[in-house]
Amino acid sequence: MRRLPPVLLEDGCSRELLSLIRTILAACKEISFRVSQGALSGVLGSTLDENIQGETQKKLDVLSNQLIKDILLESGYVKAIASEEEDYTVAGDPDAQYIVAFDPLDGSSNIDINSLVGTIFSIMEAPKDADPSDPSIFMQAGKKQVAAGYVLYGPSTMLALTTGKGTRLYTLDKTHGSFLLTQEKLIIPADTNEFAINASNQRHWLPPMQQYIEDCLAGTEGPRNKNFNMRWIACMVGDVHRLLTRGGLFSYPEDTKNPAKPYKLRLLYEANPMSMLVEQAGGLSYAGTERIMDIEPSEIHQRVAVTMGSKNEVETCLSYHK
Ligand code: F6P
């Protein structure tokens, strides 16, 4: 492992952006500690509340949200925040340069089974002179992100971070409390024989996705002429971390299970930041046939179809949709 001083290797960033990232990471270190304490810190299980999206909130969802929200609003670095666990955007410092959208604890169905969870964040410039309480300041396409990252709380706590000059991996050194650089340039292999999808929804997918997966499953006896492996962690951070490190295709496609909710993943604080990390590592990320980072958002908790990962495999999947 290459040992570096406990600073982020994000050259060319403004001092304010680096301080903002460090502020988010300070909260993530605390979340990492609470997650690792499990039942000992009394944070397992659900609250009696639901978020605006009708999902039951876990105690750790609420705690993680509070930790990140408080530290960001106190820092003075954010004009406003948007969170999966907040119904509406929250105003910060009117003079601040940045806005942050985040999912404080992704994959929360994994909390109570001691499996992978993570925090995802997306940082954008705040429009100048904008009212911090106006949610429309978040209505910017993902290509305008200035930084994106996730922290994965696994056997080790890892940070994947991009500020637009590649994607880097850091590992939390718990003895010193610092994220140390452990992989300077991630490159997703263009080819893969692994996909991640919740196959229990198969009968609800649209025909192109049904056909794509059917052809993968047919292995060497089908048109793809190679065998595929499947993985599903049910935590986007965990599944995307795998494809960033060894390649693969991750998809949560459109489905017809509930016509009022054809997509599952959220654009602003799941799909966009993950797309930036994946594209900065040489991969692709699409919603149907549209590049995710080109989508102009229309609401804070907007959902999208997601297919991302190894370039050639995503292109093959796209060819079924065209
Ligand atoms: O956002 C929610 C999330 O937990 C993702 O992290 C994950 O990829 C997906 O939902 C899991 O969905 P399902 O419960 O359908 O497996």
**What is the number of the ligand 1 atom nearest to the C-alpha of 265?**
1
**For atom 3 of ligand 1, which residue has the closest CA?**
107
**For atom 16 of ligand 1, which residue has the closest CA?**
234
Residue among 255, 253, 229, 263 at smallest CA distance from 243: 229
Query: How remote is the CA of residue 52 from the centroid of ligand 1, in Å?
Result: 17
Query: How remote is the CA of residue 5 from the centroid of ligand 1, in Å?
Result: 35
Query: Which among 264, 303, 307 is the best mutation to test ligand 1's pocket, defined by most ligand atoms within 8 Å of the CB?
Result: 264
**For atom 15 of ligand 1, which residue has the closest CA?**
198
**What is the number of the ligand 1 atom nearest to the C-alpha of 270?**
1
Alpha-carbon distances, residue 74 vs 67, 90, 108, 167 (angstroms): 11, 12, 26, 28
Q: At 164, which helix (H) or strand (E)?
A: none
Alpha-carbon distances, residue 135 vs 94, 127, 130 (angstroms): 13, 12, 10
Burial class (CB in 10 A: 0-12, 13-18, 19+), 69: buried
Q: Which protein residues touch ligand 1 with a CB less than 6 Å away?
A: 106-107, 109, 198, 234-236, 239, 252, 264-265, 270
Q: At 229, which helix (H) or strand (E)?
A: strand 229-230
The owner of tokens 């050639």 is 312
Report whether 72 contacts 24 (CB < 8 A): yes
Chain centroid to CA 102: how far? Answer: 8
Query: How remote is the CA of residue 107 from the centroid of ligand 1, in Å?
Result: 6
**What is the number of the ligand 1 atom nearest to the C-alpha of 238?**
6
Q: From first to last of its 322 residues, what are the pLDDT tens digits of the chain? A: 555 444 576 667 899 999 999 999 999 999 999 999 998 988 788 776 777 777 777 889 999 999 999 999 999 999 999 999 999 999 999 999 999 999 999 998 999 899 999 999 999 999 988 999 999 999 999 999 999 999 999 999 999 999 999 999 999 999 989 999 999 999 999 999 999 999 999 999 999 999 999 999 999 999 999 999 999 999 999 999 999 999 999 999 999 999 999 999 999 999 999 999 999 999 999 999 999 999 999 999 999 999 999 999 999 999 999 8
- Give the residues across from 121 on adjacent strands: 102, 149
Query: Which among 60, 83, 109, 304 is the best mutation to test ligand 1's pocket, defined by most ligand atoms within 8 Å of the CB?
Result: 109
> What backbone phi and psi angles, to 5 degrees, belong to 85?
-95, 5
pTM equals 0.95
Q: At 182, which helix (H) or strand (E)?
A: strand 178-183
Alpha-carbon distances, residue 261 vs 53, 100, 203, 292 (angstroms): 10, 25, 16, 18
Residue 5: its pLDDT value, please?
47
- Return the half-sphere exposure (C-beta side, CA atoms, 13 A cut-off) of residue 291: 11
Query: Which among 58, 117, 236 is the best mutation to test ligand 1's pocket, defined by most ligand atoms within 8 Å of the CB?
Result: 236
